[in-house]
Amino acid sequence: MKPPVVALWLLRHTVPAEDRDGILGDLEETLRTGLADASPAGMRLWYWRQTFSLAVRFLRERMIERRTTIGQSGALGPDVPSGSVSTLLQDLRYAVRGLIRSPGFSLVTIFTLALGIGANTAIFSVVDGILLRPLPLSEPDRLVALCEINPAIAAFCIGSPPNVEDWDEQAEAIEEFGLGRQWAFTLKGDDGIEGVSGGIATPGLFNVLRLAPALGRLLQPSDVDPGNNHVAVLSHAMWRTRFGADPAVIGQPVVLDGESYEIVGVLASGAEVPRLETVELWAPLHFHPREEQRRAWRGFLVYGRLAPEATLLGAREEMNVIAGRLGETYPETNEGWGISVVPLRDCIVGSVRPTLLIFLGAVGFVLLIGCANVANLLLVRGAGRRCELAVRSALGAGRVRLVRLLLSEALILSVLGGVAGVLLSVVAVNAFVSLAPPGIPRLDEVGVDGRMLVFALLLSVVTTVLFGVVPSLNSTTVDLNQALKEGDPRAAGRSRIGIRGILVVSEVALALMLLVGAGLLTKSFAGLLNWDPGFDRENLLTVWLLTSSPRFQSGEQVVSLHSQAAEEVVSLPSVLSVGKTSAGPLFGGLETDEFVIGGRPDSEPGQRPVVRWYDVGPNYFSTLGVPLLAGRLFTTADVREAPQVAIINKALADRYWIDEDPLGGQVVIHGRTMMIVGVVGNVASFNTGEPVRPEIYWPQMQAPRLATYLLIRTTTDPATLIRPIRDRLRGLDPDMRVAGFTTMDGHIGRQLVRPRFNMLLVGIFASVALALASVGIYGVVSYSVAMRTREMGIRMALGARAVDIVRSVVGRGMVPALLGIGIGLAGAFGVTRLLASMLVGVEPTDGVTFFSVAALLGVVAAVACYVPACRATRVEASVTLRED
């Protein structure tokens, strides 16, 4: 019989080459002659016993021999077959000892890796939690958002209930539909009326999303009927906070908007409607979703669930057909309207996707710079050790062995860097989540988890392989003769300045791109800080009033109640004046509509000019500080019975009354014809560079509504007046809802949160990049100085002046830096376009920023060259020459 193949393989890998032939031959000879009487199975067993016995004994023998060799010479022994655990452990032990011997190198490398890996893991965690992970809903890939779209009207993703009812009847690719929207209820409690962030929905909304109740039931089809729709479902949070998690809450009444509703259910913990997460209490629509006059009320978020076999594309095609059919059936409300179908996840996170991808790109740059630095450090170390490696090689260590040693070092460094990076990323993710501006979807789902550890590990391994192997390959092509002849190990690395130069060029280029990005964001932010709105920003306070009690029979009664409220507030000391308005700069909703200019040819609906409109009280402009440019302001005499009047802003006057006097002209909006009696100054847009919109104002008394903002001008810090003002207003009428006290500074601050956050984050990345790049330049220049010590010593001895030496060193060091700046500028020119959406009032190719950043980087690079250059001038010729 023949020896088993596997056994032969094992023997070949354990028995030393010089003994192998004799031993294997002996075994085979015995197998053929000495065991002639044994069965084949018995022979095989015998051979395997011999194999294991030999393998174990020779492995042990090899370890003993190696210990003796190292004890004697301290060098790595001859090449041994790879894959042996003991050899690997030995390499690792050796590498650790080597790293401990040069703590500076080790710490800088680990720190660099930790920064790169930590920042990347943190940002990738955020991107993963928000963009990549599926929504925490049942079969989230089948969920879609549906939007009615009309090219002539701004793109909001909304729809109207009767249309959705028709879709539900006709569509097959989408099996279920649901819709809902926010609805501000007033809730009668023990302390009077208060506002509740509520929502109204069809029962389909909860079915589509497969939300479940914790108690009772959710909305059901019978709740749709207007005679039967006074039921409410609590969010889990509201049930806990306001009802003390009382299970007996089911069946209890609550008073919403003055009417009694029955609580029928509580949503399960964590069950939220995407895009409507703040809703605390759900009720059915207060009208039947088939009610025809609601067809044009496109104010609802619409959700659908694709049928099991359906595709997104198929659903889109089918919905297009349905939209065309509805346009023919209901031309007045539906002509020109299409339907878009988008995956729900895209709809939720689409707005933050560009920003997050920019962050991801920015940290990617940091990692690349970090890697370049690590590669540089390893190269320098490898080159500095050529002599050592040559000696090891002479003592019998083969190339594989040396590469393995260098790889072990890189592996240890990158694992340590990776671990430090993961720790850093946990801190960074927590910081990101707590500092992030409000309104980022799914932020609560962000965290570092097992997947992120895998990500960090992969990053670590990749950096090791890329930046450990490449320098290893370089360092181990050691020509013993050459290395030893040169004697000076530092001289041997000269050939590799090219690779290091390229690394510095790329580091500088990447850092420059990041710095330009940070510079642009900073400039944009500074522009926002200095916003000049065209009115006095100081000492302004806003508060929102809503009166929806059935006690008030007409809108005029409500408006006079609100006027009374304004008078109450102005009677307080420290209050200068109080104005009323439906909305204003940075606060309140913006209401826009088409309008027609009296006496001019009308256009088709959808093609008329669009204007922002406000209803305001008499003191609005004087309180805000907007100047009157022509005509008059509103007075208390502008009541419903008086002639209908309007005031326009300068932007509207300039646009539509180019060479005419707008005073006395007419505008028609909402079917009301108003005469223009005044022109006021523009309020600058907050986003500098954005044009000022045309605006129309009319008196609240002539078109009364149930809600208004009070705009309060004070002589002292407005925040101190919130309590007395609230007390006054509460005392006036218990049914009046008072909410949302905010100072103008608060409004501005809220607008600044997101740009500030963007600026800070990119700024941090850019600073890290700058620091790493300068370390990189410094490292390369000081290395080249160290290599040229002898040359400089001689030059100094021959009379070269210090300034010449410095110039020469800085000059050489600046070449890759300047090259990097050039390449970085070109790259930044292309890359900063991606930032356009984050920039306000600054061009992505802003020359000043580009120039300043290039200059900054140039100075930093020069300093990084200058420090080692100065060291070079302190070289004593006699010392360097004697060293040899």
Q: How big is the site for another protein, counted in residues (CB under 8 A)?
A: 24
Q: Based on CB atoms, which residue is closest to another protein, 29 or 661?
A: 29
Residues in the chain: 884
Burial environment of residue 433 by CB neighbours within 10 A (0 to 12, 13 to 18, 19 or more): middle
For 635, residues 6+ apart whose C-beta sits below 8 A from its C-beta are 618
Minimum distance of another protein from residue 401's CB (angstroms): 22
Q: Based on CB atoms, which residue is closest to another protein, 24 or 296?
A: 24
Residue with token string 């890939």:
141
**Partners of 518 in beta bridges:** none
Minimum distance of another protein from residue 94's CB (angstroms): 24
d(CA 122, CA 88): 32
d(CA 679, CA 631): 6
Minimum distance of another protein from residue 73's CB (angstroms): 16
Does 3 participate in binding another protein (rule CB under 8 A)?
Answer: yes
Residue with token string 């001859």:
78
**Partners of 281 in beta bridges:** 198, 234
Residue in 493, 491, 487 with CA at minimum distance from that of residue 475: 493
Residue with token string 């669930």:
305
Minimum distance of another protein from residue 396's CB (angstroms): 16
Burial environment of residue 448 by CB neighbours within 10 A (0 to 12, 13 to 18, 19 or more): buried
d(CA 816, CA 774): 12
Minimum distance of another protein from residue 397's CB (angstroms): 20
Does 307 participate in binding another protein (rule CB under 8 A)?
Answer: no
Minimum distance of another protein from residue 379's CB (angstroms): 41
Pattern of binders to another protein over 162-201, x per CB under 8 A? ----------------------------------------
Minimum distance of another protein from residue 487's CB (angstroms): 35
User: Which pair of structure tokens corresponds to residue 736?
Assistant: 């009046």
Q: Based on CB atoms, which residue is closest to another protein, 2 or 670?
A: 2
Does 67 participate in binding another protein (rule CB under 8 A)?
Answer: no
d(CA 208, CA 221): 13
Q: Based on CB atoms, which residue is closest to another protein, 55 or 572?
A: 55
User: Which pair of structure tokens corresponds to residue 569?
Assistant: 């507030």
Does 57 participate in binding another protein (rule CB under 8 A)?
Answer: yes
Question: How many C-beta atoms lie closer than 10 Å to residue 64's C-beta?
Answer: 10
Q: Based on CB atoms, which residue is closest to another protein, 24 or 823?
A: 24
d(CA 381, CA 388): 11
Pattern of binders to another protein over 364-393, x per CB under 8 A? ------------------------------
Minimum distance of another protein from residue 82's CB (angstroms): 22
Does 136 participate in binding another protein (rule CB under 8 A)?
Answer: no
Find the DSSP H helices in 740-846. 744-787, 789-797, 802-831
**Which CA distances in Å does 669 have to 225, 337, 611?**
34, 22, 9
Instruction: Count CA atoms closer than 13 A to 396's CA, side-chain side.
Output: 11
Residue in 359, 513, 525, 516 with CA at minimum distance from that of residue 846: 516
Region binding another protein by CB under 8 A among candidate stretches 14-22, 242-250, 449-457, 651-659: 14-22
Q: Which of 47, 58, 282, 535 binds another protein (CB under 8 A)?
A: 58
Minimum distance of another protein from residue 57's CB (angstroms): 4
**Which CA distances in Å does 277 have to 137, 444, 739, 825?**
13, 11, 20, 44
Q: What is the largest CA-CA distance in the chain?
A: 128
Task: Pick out residues in 16-55 that bind another protein (CB under 8 A).
Answer: 16, 19, 21-30, 32-34, 50, 53-54
Q: Based on CB atoms, which residue is closest to another protein, 11 or 652?
A: 11
Single-letter amino acid code for the residue at 743: T
For 300, residues 6+ apart whose C-beta sits below 8 A from its C-beta are 158, 159, 160, 161, 164, 179, 180, 181
Q: Based on CB atoms, which residue is closest to another protein, 26 or 139?
A: 26
Single-letter amino acid code for the residue at 721: L
For 60, residues 6+ apart whose C-beta sits below 8 A from its C-beta are none
Minimum distance of another protein from residue 810's CB (angstroms): 60
Pattern of binders to another protein over 720-759, x per CB under 8 A? ----------------------------------------
Task: Pick out residues in 818-837 that bind another protein (CB under 8 A).
Answer: none
Minimum distance of another protein from residue 53's CB (angstroms): 4
Q: Based on CB atoms, which residue is closest to another protein, 59 or 484?
A: 59
Minimum distance of another protein from residue 482's CB (angstroms): 34
Question: How many C-beta atoms lie closer than 10 Å to residue 36's C-beta?
Answer: 8
Q: Based on CB atoms, which residue is closest to another protein, 54 or 174?
A: 54
Does 524 participate in binding another protein (rule CB under 8 A)?
Answer: no
Does 61 participate in binding another protein (rule CB under 8 A)?
Answer: yes
Q: Based on CB atoms, which residue is closest to another protein, 21 or 444?
A: 21
Q: Which residues bind another protein (CB under 8 A)?
A: 2-3, 16, 19, 21-30, 32-34, 50, 53-54, 56-58, 61
